[in-house]
Structure 1
Amino acid sequence: MPRRNPHLGETGLGPSPEARGWQAGYDAGVSSPAGAPQSPLTRDPDYMDAWAEGATAGNADGQSEGWRLCPVGEDADRPATRAQDIKPQSSGETGDTASAFGAAWSSVGSLPLRVLLHHVAPEADTFLTSQLAGSALNRALTELGGTDRLYLPVCLSPPHDLAGDPVLDAGYWHGSASESFDSARVEAELHARVRTIHFSGLVRYRSAGDHNFWDWIPLDQRDLTMP
C-alpha cells in the first residue's frame, strides 16, 4: 500500500511547505527506477528536507509496488508521456465501446488532476494545491459522494493555441471532465479524427488518497476512420 504523506494538514496559509515538498518528492521517487532522486535546491530547508524524505518513500514504493510514469520533465509540465519501455496494463474498462482503450499506463503528476479538481471543486485554489491536487481531489469527491472515478480527454500533440488552465497553458488540448467513460471516449475520438496523428486518449482518475496517481489510456488511432 502506498505510503501516506505524514505532513498533511492545513495551516492558516494552506498546505505546509513540508506537505507540498513531501508529495513532490514522492512523485519524483516513485518514477525513478535508478534510485531516489536528489532533492532540489530551494530557499526553504523544510521543503527541501521533506522533498528528500518523500523521494525516499516514493522510491521504496516504486520498488515494491511498481514504478509509475512521471509526466513532469525537466523543462515542462506534461500531461502524459508516450514511453515505449513501460509495460501496458489492462485499462479495466469493459464492453465494445472500450475496445479502442485496451491498455493503460500508471502515471503520476498534478497537471491533469488540477483540471479535474476545478471540475468538481471550482473554488479550490490550484496554486496552493499543485503538489497536493490528488489529495484535494480525493477529499472533494468524498465530500460530494457518488463516483470515485473521473475521465478527461487529452491530446498529447502540442501545440494547441488555446489557453486558460494548466493543461491548455502547457500547449496541449483537453476536453470536458466526465464521470462517464463513454462520453469522454466520444470526445477523444472526435478530436482525433484528423489526418495527422494526435495521440489522443483519456486521463482516468481513480481515488488514490494522498497521491497524484492516475492512468493514461491511449486511443488506438488505427481504429479510427480518417476523413
Structure 2
Amino acid sequence: MKKILTVVPAPALLSAVPVHAAPFAGPRAELRAGWDRTEFRHNFLVEDDVRSANAGDSRIGYGGELGFDAGVGGPLRLGLYAGIGGGKASACGSLAGEDELCVRSGRTLSFGARAGVAAGQSAFFYAKGGYSVRRLAAEYEASDELEAESDADRVHRVRGSRGGHEVGLGFEFAIGGGAYSKAEYLFSEQRRLRVADERLSFETRQHRHQIVAGIGFRF
C-alpha cells in the first residue's frame, strides 16, 4: 500500500485561519440624539452706542455620522468622520427700547478627525476635532429711535451658512455583532453673521453644546 504525503505550504495554512479585525476599527455608521443647547451672542451698534445681549435655546437634537477608524499600533486608533445634524434653535429678544432681534439656526454639516484608545474588546475612548457649517438666519426690527422712513427700513434680514471649529470627547461600548452604543459631548462655535448699513450694524455668533447618545454599526 502506498502512502501519499501532501505538503501544504505554510502561507496556505495561515490564510485558512480566520483573521479577526482589531476592535473599534474599520468603517462605521451611527445615529444619535440628545440635549442640544445653542447660545446666541449679539453685538449692536447705533451711531456711537454699543449694546450687547445674550440668548439661548435648548432642544432635542438628532443626526447621524459616517466614519472610518484604523489601528495604528496596539490599542491606538485614528479616524475620520463626516456628520449631519438636524437640530434647530431660535431665540428672540430686545436690545433696546421696543426693537426686536430674532435669530434661528438649522441644519449642520461637519467633518473632522478623531483619535482614541481601545480598552480591550469592549470599550473605546476618543477625542475629536473638526469643522462644522450651520445654517443661520437673523431678523432685526428697529425701534422708533432710528427714525426709519418706512416699515421696510425698520426690518433688516440676513441669512446664510457660517462655519467654525468643533471639539468633543466620547466613548463607545461594543454590543456585539459589529454594533455599538456611544455617548459624546460636543462643543462648536460658528463665525459671526453680520448686518450693516449707514445707520446701524449688528452681528451675532453662536456657541453650541451637545450631549448625545447613539447607536452604530461597524462593517
Task: Compare CA radii of gyration and give the structure with the larger one.
Answer: 2
TM-score range relative to shorter protein: under 0.3
Higher helix share: 1
Structure 2-normalised TM-score?
A: 0.25
Structure 1-normalised TM-score?
A: 0.24
| Higher RCO, 1 vs 2 (CA within 8 Å, ≥6 residues apart) | 2
Higher strand share: 2
